[in-house]
Structure 1
């Protein structure tokens, strides 16, 4: 009888132990869950100010906000405008994160001491040519240059659709070509510099002098060539080629051309501004951006072909781009040559 009582007491003790252990595990899980939630909302109540080339990236910023709790405010601005603003007031960072724009501007900003160094643990996945060796900037993808053609305008003037950059130097296209000012548009600077790299200094400038003779107006916004060609003001617009260009072409009966004699390109930069108040949030966003699933979403928002993506294993769209057609360029001089190229360009075009 005593043995039975002992067994009964032992059973009760074991049951109680199981209940306590279960509660403890439950508390631990709840605690971990609470910690995870806290960790994922680490920037709740804080704001990250971003300078971006467009507002197309809002869905990615919204996703980051949901994960971290940070509010994101975006100011749309071209890379040339960013450099001008920084030059005007070097004492105050204009934002926390610089997102998009030609790499030449980021190289110049690094030289001017306007960027903060940051090396994400994921950055080594990106080819070394697409990131600063000192950690001041990295690329989010490639922009490629080409042109869009208004077939109706050219047909009315009995002009053929140009297929190459060389075609644009033909005097028969005088007054039919528009491009944006390369001092304003990083993509246009990349196109100018890419052609010079391809042809060599002397032949490159001889080429651009001939094209300049055919251009009566330089856009003050990056969107001008696409919009003004679509409206019929010009027959040919020099543009960044992406899904948006193809969509616009479809809507407006235009033709997008990847030039057969080579495609200029430039990596688009991402960086943290020097002394940015939201530095930690900007760094966290770079880590977030480099996650493969977010790089894939970014490629979609950017409307990029797979051959424009710099993260290995991430696929984009099929826009007919062939990476073999990209011009061989010297990225190391994109920033250092910028001022000299733009000064010479300004002298060439005058008041256009």
Structure 2
């Protein structure tokens, strides 16, 4: 009897192990390239779990700046390692032009996204709308009695000498936006950046304490009293304020620059049907409402509703900013971007 029970127990255990193995084998993994930090936390903690549960799938984030993610997708173009990627709009235009994205499938969710939030005939779509403007260290401004900034040219004000933190225009959308707005003020266009390159070093450049590759160091530099003023988005300002960091957003009189984060399904990925399903979910009002509540994201889906009056007030304010925000000519920018990056690194950050 004992031997029989042992055999029976072993058989039951083997069946259970086989069943578990079968279930494990059925579970799939999707890799999503996106910004790390708050953006990654927002999606891994608040947005992806519902999709994972409903589809028996694990969503894993590959963190990095838009430039990092684009480089990874390009390097693996023939055998993609990611399934979906989030990129700043300008970088997304480059990805589409390089053949890295496949057209988003028609879906009720995509149908809810306004036409101005869809890129290149539906190859990608915005999931987080916003703009680059100015932010400032409110504690420092209050202590020194400085008024809030009102213009991009405030970055060149002599009183901020050694207190301007500027994201690299060769690596960061924030830095590029600020440089191109400076260029416009100097009489240039996206097709002619000579005024910007000629005048930057002797104006804004004289005030820059440090050129940083992304905005990750901004919080630290505000807290140590090193940073007074810098390009940033209202979303990032709201996130920093929630952490107790004394920053405020200021809308430049010349206009902020439209900055949306768009998503695309990576062409020739190993899980195209599931990747398209995830992309559709991320455009839904449900997903974007969660991202708004948890991470201060600004939805592209107009059906995503704010859950509190405070969130609605912030959404209304940003919508007001968007009415005067500047849209850059990304076809012109991307055609010359490598050349600009080289000039920037040699002339400005050397």
TM-score with structure 1 length normalisation? 0.76
Moved more, 331-340 or 285-294: 331-340
Structure ID, larger Rg = 1
CA distance, structure 2, for counterparts of residue 70 and residue 78 of structure 1? 25
Structure 1 residue 313 corresponds to structure 2 residue 303? yes
Moved more, 198-207 or 266-275: 198-207
- Give the structure 2 partner of residue 82 of structure 1: 69
Structure 1 residue 185 corresponds to structure 2 residue 172? yes
Offset at 1:144? 1.4
SS in 1 for 2:259: strand
- Give the structure 1 partner of residue 288 of structure 2: 295
CA distance, structure 1, for counterparts of residue 80 and residue 184 of structure 2? 33
CA distance, structure 2, for counterparts of residue 94 and residue 167 of structure 1? 43
SS in 2 for 1:192: helix
SS in 2 for 1:227: helix
SS in 1 for 2:232: strand
Q: Contact 1:132–1:138 at 8 Å: present in 2 too? A: yes
Moved more, 70-79 or 284-293: 284-293
Offset at 1:207? 6.0
CA distance, structure 2, for counterparts of residue 330 and residue 301 of structure 1? 32
CA distance, structure 1, for counterparts of residue 305 and residue 117 of structure 2? 17
CA distance, structure 2, for counterparts of residue 151 and residue 104 of structure 1? 30
The structure 2 residue matched to 1:231, chosen from 219, 224, 231, is 224
Q: Contact 1:230–1:254 at 8 Å: present in 2 too? A: no
Structure 1 residue 71 corresponds to structure 2 residue 58? yes
The structure 1 residue matched to 2:265, chosen from 268, 272, 280, is 272
- CA 350–179 in structure 1, closer or farther in 2 if over 3 Å, else same: closer
CA distance, structure 2, for counterparts of residue 173 and residue 302 of structure 1? 31
- Give the structure 2 partner of residue 107 of structure 1: 93
- CA 132–80 in structure 1, closer or farther in 2 if over 3 Å, else same: same
Structure 1 residue 93 corresponds to structure 2 residue 73? no
CA distance, structure 2, for counterparts of residue 188 and residue 302 of structure 1? 22
TM-score with structure 2 length normalisation? 0.76
- Give the structure 2 partner of residue 263 of structure 1: 256
RMSD of equivalent CA atoms: 2.9
Q: Deviations for 1:254-281, whole angstroms, at most 9, x for unmatched residues?
A: 3332223311122211011222112222
- Give the structure 2 partner of residue 241 of structure 1: 234
Offset at 1:221? 3.1
The structure 2 residue matched to 1:220, chosen from 198, 204, 213, is 213
- Give the structure 1 partner of residue 149 of structure 2: 162
Give the alignment of 1:93-172 within 5 angstroms.
93-99=80-86, 101-122=87-108, 123-154=110-141, 160-172=147-159
- CA 96–87 in structure 1, closer or farther in 2 if over 3 Å, else same: closer
CA distance, structure 2, for counterparts of residue 237 and residue 230 of structure 1? 14
CA distance, structure 1, for counterparts of residue 200 and residue 114 of structure 2? 31
